[in-house]
């Protein structure tokens, strides 16, 4: 399930929720069909009462998850302060002079970073790989997204950045699109290589946890559990300097290379 980003200003009230619906419409269409079929069968007198009850329960779950996921999306992307992005400044120990926004082809945050850090040198790097990232939602998001900041295309395993070039790197709802654990680890090691002494990586992600399951149902499997982000940080040479929740559905990690204070 692809996340909905973008500036909150001059946007419709339900813009974030509608983005989620547009990017993931096949899942919602399938859920609607399953709900309708389940209800039709549940009303069939030819089936045993237990089977009809189970079908009605399944239909109710499908409808409930569809509604809950859109409500959660509206809460996170339309009503919380997440998309203002001003809170990012407080996460960093210092204002970066050089930074990179690393995304998987859907970039609606680079402009905000430029606003937050005036006078800095920033760049957007698109590590989208259609072979590695086969989710239909991200492909639809890339096609329907509005104009984004110019980005340099790159492989996640070989970033076009010098050693110790960056004061900060931003990974905002993007790293989970790398579905292979090995690819994720190579990527995190690459990011580690690019950070200068005292540099920081800001990682923003949904987690595969109880809250996401309650809101997104089976769609929560597209996210990764906290232990995977902890593993990647440790094995790539990072320490978690700060961790916080942004609503019940979003986790923010600030990582620093372990070898630097």
Name the DSSP class of 12: -
pLDDT tens digits for range 182-235 = 999 999 999 999 999 999 999 999 999 999 999 988 889 999 999 999 999 999
Task: Write out the two tokens for 2.
Answer: 């692809």
Q: Is the pLDDT of residue 240 over 70?
A: yes
Give the whole-angstrom CA distance, residue 27 versus residue 10.
Answer: 28
> Residue 8 domain-assigned?
no
Nearest Cα neighbor of 110 from 60, 198, 171 is 171
**What's 98's domain CATH number?**
3.40.50.150
Q: Does residue 199 share a domain with residue 101?
A: yes
Does 9 reside within a domain?
A: no
Residue 123 lies in a domain: yes
- pLDDT for 4 equals 52
**E strands within the chain?**
98-103, 121-126, 151-153, 166-172, 195-205, 238-246, 250-257
Give the strand pairing for 250-257 and 238-246. antiparallel
8 Å CB contact between 217 and 235: no
Contact 162/100 with Cβ under 8 angstroms? Answer: no
Domain region containing 226: 82-257
pLDDT at residue number 6: 46
124 within a domain of the structure (yes/no) = yes
- Within this chain, do residues 118 and 208 fall inside the same structural domain, yes or no? yes
Amino acid 3: pLDDT: 55
pLDDT in tens, 132-177: 776 666 666 666 655 556 789 999 999 999 999 999 999 999 999 9
Position of tokens 């931003």? Answer: 170
Q: Checking phi first, is residue 98 left (phi over 0); if not, alpha (psi -120 to 50) or beta? A: beta
As for how many domains the chain has, the answer is 2
Q: Report the predicted TM-score, pTM, of the whole model to 2 decimal places.
A: 0.84
Backbone phi and psi for residue 202, each to the nearest 5 degrees, phi listed first: -100, 115
Q: Are residues 57 and 178 both part of a single domain? A: no
The 10 Å Cβ neighbour count of residue 149 is 16
| pLDDT at residue 83 in the model | 84
| Residue 17 CB burial class (10 angstroms; 0-12, 13-18, ≥19) | buried
One domain, residues 180 and 195: yes
């Amino acid at each position: 399930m692809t996340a909905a980003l973008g500036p909150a200003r001059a946007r419709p009230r339900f813009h974030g929720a509608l983005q989620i619906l547009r990017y993931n419409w096949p899942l919602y269409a399938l859920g609607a069909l399953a709900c309708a079929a389940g209800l039709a069968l549940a009303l069939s007198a030819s089936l045993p009462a237990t089977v009809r009850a189970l079908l009605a329960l399944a239909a109710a779950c499908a409808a409930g998850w569809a509604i809950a996921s859109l409500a959660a999306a509206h809460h996170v992307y339309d009503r919380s302060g997440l998309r203002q992005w001003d809170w990012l400044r407080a996460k960093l120990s210092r204002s970066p002079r050089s930074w990179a926004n690393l995304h998987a082809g859907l970039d609606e945050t680079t402009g905000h970073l430029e606003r937050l850090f005036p006078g800095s040198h920033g760049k957007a790097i698109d590590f989208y790989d259609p072979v590695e990232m086969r989710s239909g939602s991200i492909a639809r998001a890339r096609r329907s997204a509005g104009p984004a900041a110019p980005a340099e295309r790159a492989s996640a395993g070989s970033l076009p950045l010098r050693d110790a070039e960056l004061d900060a790197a931003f990974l905002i709802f993007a790293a989970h699109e790398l579905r292979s654990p090995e690819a994720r680890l190579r990527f995190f090691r690459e990011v580690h290589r690019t950070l200068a002494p005292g540099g920081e990586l800001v990682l923003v992600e949904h987690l595969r946890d109880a809250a996401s399951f309650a809101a997104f149902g089976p769609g929560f499997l597209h996210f990764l559990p906290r232990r995977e982000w902890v593993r990647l940080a440790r094995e790539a040479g990072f320490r978690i300097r700060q961790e916080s929740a942004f609503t019940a559905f979003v986790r923010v990690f600030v990582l620093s290379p372990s070898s630097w204070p």
